[in-house]
Structure 1
């Protein structure tokens, strides 16, 4: 049959014929894979001078990161926490916090910017298409992975661009120092403050409730009295810090009931003075059993024997209550003969 014998509509394209017949046309492949676009060379790929310039930019960013980290540490050491500065538009801010935040932000940003610039200008940007494969890798696949890794290292210029590589190592090595320095900001160093209280030779024992100096006759047998050093006031700016170390409890025990010789020597006619601060976690001790001469910490039930050097007889406390040596002055008032012989309160790592 010749083309002249074919009806006119049979000579139309498939889409036109479907349109005329009222049917929906379906393209042969509506989701055709366009493939990977043609690779375009960057200027760094064809111009070694441009590549060296990009490497210098990367190295500069990493160097800026290192300098910012050094600035972070220097700011922490040099600036006072009380210094206030005006920064627009933030207003009045702490100079230390502003310097630390700015330096740390620059250090981290510079590492990130340097890594991105390195990837975009110096590392290979060839698109690679790889078919999916079974989860269990074959020996050939593993060999291919190692080869791809080696090719990636070569493409990244990591071995060839030594300036960028070495400055990256330097930046990454210094940035963690910021975190180490921040540990210093957990609080002021105690130095020897934990070893000293407001007690000193000649300071009278003041009743913490009446704020009057104590005489031996003010303390009957079996009583528990709380005292603090002469010269302290609740209006002092550091009163809470000082009383947390100097708080004292006083009891009167018959001298023949005192078992520890040093406790007897440091007492006055059976009046013994011990730190009120529990040696477990520093809770104030306030419960006294006059028949046994035991005091109980209400927090975790550590129990101490005041007739036997304040030693621990029960509970989690780690060591005995420190005792304060006392005597009576010429006016008949109880006074301290010095400070506690050992640090009060819980143990700490520097304690010998």
Structure 2
């Protein structure tokens, strides 16, 4: 269109055919010519069986490298102590187990990836094809043709003719699944057994490993001082631990017991507990409306620390599991599968809150041996 063409009108100059268009009017091509496909260039493996054999051995070697990486991963996982350290230039000291696990997984992935790329570039068909459009529902003949195309593809990829590739690829993929299964099963750790059933609230642990029942006072965390029932007003929330835990234990054992024995204490009007078996149990295990529940969420063990006074709900901030304090902390929302375990409390002669009985069930996340 030139500068003197009125707006809305088109230049009627035909489009030259040497520009790859079919001539149209108004300067707009009627359609484009099919440019066709470039001539196919044969690879060495297409015409030379020896080159194809070399490519096959290369691919098999890469898949073999993947298998070696997987074996290295398994050996490192089962035989190398995670605390054993080694020096790596540019990094410094690091766990030998982590180093070997990373190298093994990297080799396993690299071998499969490079082997697949090499296979596609040297032995699989590399000719470009054109597929014409067709109705969404293919005819029966087309479907049968598709099945035959798949079979022909398997034949043309030489998978059936190259058993070495088929065997090493199967070995690489099969072995590569083992680290995933090992990591999934082994990294879950041992079953908790009674580790979550016994807490510092159970009493004193003797030299023989048994626990002697005793009534412990509820101590504020972290002040480590006892709390009286009169200190707990309606709407208030206290984070408490068993008496003696912070002074009698040390190190990892202390941290472990703090994690299991942490408790939330709050006070409700006794009339606000629901008239259900759970609600009556919550009231009976408390003292004048004061109740105490495990602070460890029964979903994945996050600390439950948010209390809504108006609704009497406890909320876990990690995944929004919500527990109803008026109904023995039953789950009313979220992924938690069980109520929070309740601690049975009372008062001693001086008016201090004490634990009359430990939790009826294990604290923390649910697990398949929990009932036992």
TM-score by length of 2: 0.58
State the alpha-carbon separation in 2 of the partners of residues 185 and 344 from structure 1: 23
Residue in structure 2 matched with residue 102 of structure 1 by the alignment: 103
Matched, 1:208 2:227: no
Structure with larger RCO (C-alpha < 8 A, sep 6+): 1
Matched, 1:274 2:289: no
Q: Does 1:311 align with 2:334?
A: no
Q: Does 1:232 align with 2:245?
A: yes
SS of residue paired to 1:297: strand
Quote the Cα distance in structure 2 between the aligned partners of 1:337 and 1:148.
Answer: 76
- 8 Å CA contact 1:278–1:285 kept in 2: the answer is no
Which residue number in structure 1 is paired with residue 230 of structure 2? 220
Aligned residue number for residue 76 of structure 2 = 75
After TM superposition, the structure 1 = structure 2 runs for residues 47-86 of structure 1, keeping only pairs within 5 Å, are 47=50, 55-86=56-87
Secondary structure of 2:75's counterpart equals: helix
Q: 1:114 to 1:302 in 2, by over 3 A?
A: closer
**Cα distance, 1:275 vs. partner?**
1.8
Give runs of aligned pairs for residues 96-245 of structure 1, distance below 5 A.
96-119=97-120, 123=123, 128=127, 132=130, 134-136=132-134, 150-183=151-184, 188=189, 191-192=192-193, 193-201=195-203, 202=214, 204-208=216-220, 210-213=223-226, 218-220=228-230, 223=233, 226-233=239-246, 242-245=257-260
Q: Which stretch of structure 1 is more off in the superposition, 52-61 or 325-334?
A: 325-334
Deviation at 1:136, TM superposition (A): 2.6
Unaligned segments of structure 2, at least 5 residues: 1-17, 19-34, 204-213
For the 8 Å contact 2:342–2:359, the answer to whether it is kept is yes
Compared with structure 1, are the counterparts of its residues 70 and 194 closer, same or farther at alpha carbon in structure 2 (3 Å cutoff)? Answer: farther
Query: Which moves more between the two structures, 54-63 or 154-163?
Result: 54-63
Give the Cα–Cα distance (whole angstroms) in 1 for the partners of residues 160 and 180 of structure 2. 30
How much has 1:171 moved relative to structure 2? Answer: 1.1
Q: Match of 1:199, SS? A: helix
Question: What SS does the aligned partner of 2:94 have?
Answer: strand
Over the residues paired in the alignment, what is the CA RMSD in angstroms? Answer: 5.2
Which of the pair has more CA radius of gyration? Answer: 1
Q: What's 1:3 paired with? A: none
- Which of residues 326, 340, 363 in structure 2 aligns to 1:344? 363
Q: For the structure 1 residues 194 and 265, does the alpha-carbon distance in structure 2 shift closer, same or farther, using more than 3 Å as the test?
A: same
Task: Write the distance in 1 (CA, Å) between the matches of 2:40 and 2:268.
Answer: 94
For these two proteins, the number of residue pairs brought into alignment is: 305
Query: In the aligned structure 1, how far is the partner of 2:192 from the partner of 2:360?
Result: 17
- For structure 1, the residue ranges without an aligned partner over 5 or more in a row are 1-25
Question: 2:272 and 2:159 mapped to 1: Cα distance?
Answer: 80
Distance 1:247 1:254 in 2: 24
User: Could you say if the C-alpha distance between residues 242 and 295 of structure 1 is closer, same or farther in structure 2, counting changes exceeding 3 Å?
Assistant: farther
The alignment's TM-score, normalised by the length of structure 1, stands at: 0.61
CA contact (8 A) 2:64 2:172 kept: yes
Instruction: Kindly indicate whether the alpha-carbon contact (under 8 Å) linking 2:330 and 2:338 is maintained by their aligned counterparts in 1.
Output: no
Deviation of 1:168 (Å):
0.8
